[in-house]
Amino acid sequence: MKAISYSRYGGPEVLAFGEVRDPKVGPDAVLVKVRAAAVNPVDWKAREGYLEGTLEAVFPVVPGWDVSGVVVRPGVAVSEFDVGDEVIGYVREDFLSRGTFAEYVAAPLRTLARKPRNLSFEEAAGLPLAGLTAYQVLIKRLRVRRGETILVHAAAGGVGSLAVQLGVHLGARVIGTASESNHDFVRRLGGEPVTYGDGLGDRVRALAPQGVDAVFDTVGGDALKASANLLAPEGRLVSIADGDVVNYGGRYYFVRPDPEDLQRLSDLAEEGVVSVHVSETFPLERAADAHRLNQEGRTRGKIVVTVDWEQENA
């Protein structure tokens, strides 16, 4: 099959488009015909070797953890999905090798849910990792409650934009940091935008003089430092970007595959509670360009890689 892969750590230039071995489908997995795969910051961080201390790389590595596609073969022990079912997945294993930037991926059941019927394959591909991160942090770690005020950093990004929508759904008041050009976008999501940079604390305090009940940090660094001083008494702080959060009394979180959480997200998308903004799409063979754009760190919503099956099989 055709796929993107890399045989050594490095920049986007190590990504190659070409033939790789077809995936084998275990008893508790399904073979998914990939229609789209979203790009996440963890993809280029893994490619550059930043996860080497956590996840072993079995080269060549096919990158990508997000996918939307169609089931073409269930494993012998699978009864949950049939041929032709449209699915989404956060297809992460405990090593780097068999990713989603490919024509096919063998996806374990624990990584999958049914695709929202009202989302395109491109939109649906952007839901699993970012959506699960937002869902698990807000509901299971920060335990956001109705009437609370929460601060979401990078509120126009992939995780942040979904966190704003989920926070509003939970009945919270959501303040979101974003560049000036993204303020209207954050407002459309239901958030109250504030600009990054110097004076952030004052701008947030102008909206929430008593402080915020919870902070969801997706940026780290200076944003994390400022956040610690914005918490109301008994306020909670979680970061997915900076392990130093523990020095400020907060917790670090790394998203995990969970089929029940993912199905709940899919249901929320069908109910119109959450949507996925796709800023740009790239064909599979241009995945390196998608990585470069994501690595710039200024994306509104998601960047998605697509597999054009009509063109591939023409």
pLDDT in tens, 1-20: 999 999 999 999 999 999 99
Domain assignment of residue 260, yes or no: no
Q: Give the model's pLDDT for residue 311.
A: 52
How far apart (Å, rounded) are the C-alpha atoms in residues 38 and 237? 27
Q: Are 108 and 144 within one domain? A: no
Give the model's pLDDT for residue 142: 98
Joined together, the tokens standing for residue 131 give 């959506």
For 256-283, what is each residue's pLDDT tens digit?
999 999 999 999 999 999 999 999 999 9
Decide if 263 is inside a domain.
no
Return the DSSP state at 277. Answer: -
278-283/302-306 β-pairing: parallel
Where residue 313 falls among pLDDT bands split at 50, 70, 90?
very low
pLDDT of residue 216: 98
Domain match, 144 and 192 both: yes
In a domain? residue 88: yes
Q: Are 26 and 110 in contact (CB under 8 A)?
A: no
Question: Do 13 and 119 belong together in one domain?
Answer: yes
Q: How many CB atoms lie within 10 A of CB 308?
A: 12
Last residue of a domain, one of 252, 287, 303: 252
Same domain, 189 and 231: yes
Computed over every residue of the chain, the mean pLDDT equals 96
DSSP 180: G
Identify whether 302 is part of a domain: yes
Residue 177 and residue 107 in one domain? no
Identity of residue 47: R
Residue that terminates a domain, selected from 211, 237, 252: 252
Give pLDDT, residue 312. Answer: 47
What length does the chain have? 314
Tokens of 252: 């670090």
Measured between alpha carbons, how far is 122 from 140 in angstroms, rounded to an integer?
Answer: 27
Per the domain annotation, does 268 fall within a domain? Answer: no
Domain's final residue, options 203, 236, 252: 252
Helical ranges in 208-304 per DSSP H: 222-228, 259-270, 287-295
How many of the other CB atoms lie within 10 Å of CB of 263? Answer: 14
The structural domain count of the chain equals 2
- Cite the DSSP H helix spans in the chain: 41-47, 121-125, 128-135, 158-169, 183-189, 200-207, 222-228, 259-270, 287-295, 309-312
Q: Which domain holds residue 119?
A: 2-126+276-312
Do 137 and 121 reside in the same domain of the chain? no
- CATH number assigned to the domain comprising residue 210: 3.40.50.720
Q: What is the pLDDT of residues 143-183, one digit of tens each?
A: 999 999 999 999 999 999 999 999 999 999 999 999 999 99
Residue 31 lies in a domain: yes
What does the pLDDT look like over 44-86, one tens digit per residue? 999 999 999 999 999 999 999 999 999 999 999 999 999 999 9
What is the C-alpha separation between 295 and 40, in angstroms, rounded? 9
- Whether residue 77 sits in one domain with residue 144: no
10 and 121 together in one domain: yes
The predicted structure's pLDDT at residue 310: 73
Residue 23 sits in the same domain as residue 113: yes
Q: Calculate mean pLDDT across residues 185-196.
A: 97
d(CA 233, CA 245): 17
CATH number at residue 299: 3.90.180.10
Do residue 56 and residue 137 come from a single domain?
no
User: Is residue 271 in some structural domain?
Assistant: no
The reply to whether 122 and 137 lie within a common domain is no
Helical H segments across 197-286, by residue range: 200-207, 222-228, 259-270
Residue-wise pLDDT for 99-140, tens only, equals 999 999 999 999 999 999 999 999 999 999 999 999 999 999
DSSP tag of 138 = I
> What letter represents residue 44's amino acid?
W
Rounded to 5 degrees, what are φ and ψ at 184? -65, -35
- Any domain includes 118: yes
Range 172-199 average pLDDT: 96
Q: Is the pLDDT of residue 87 over 70?
A: yes
Q: Are 166 and 134 in contact (CB under 8 A)?
A: yes
One domain for residues 246 and 153: yes
Residue 40 identity (one-letter amino acid): N
Which pLDDT band, with edges at 50, 70 and 90, does 314 fall under? very low
Residue 309, pLDDT score: 84
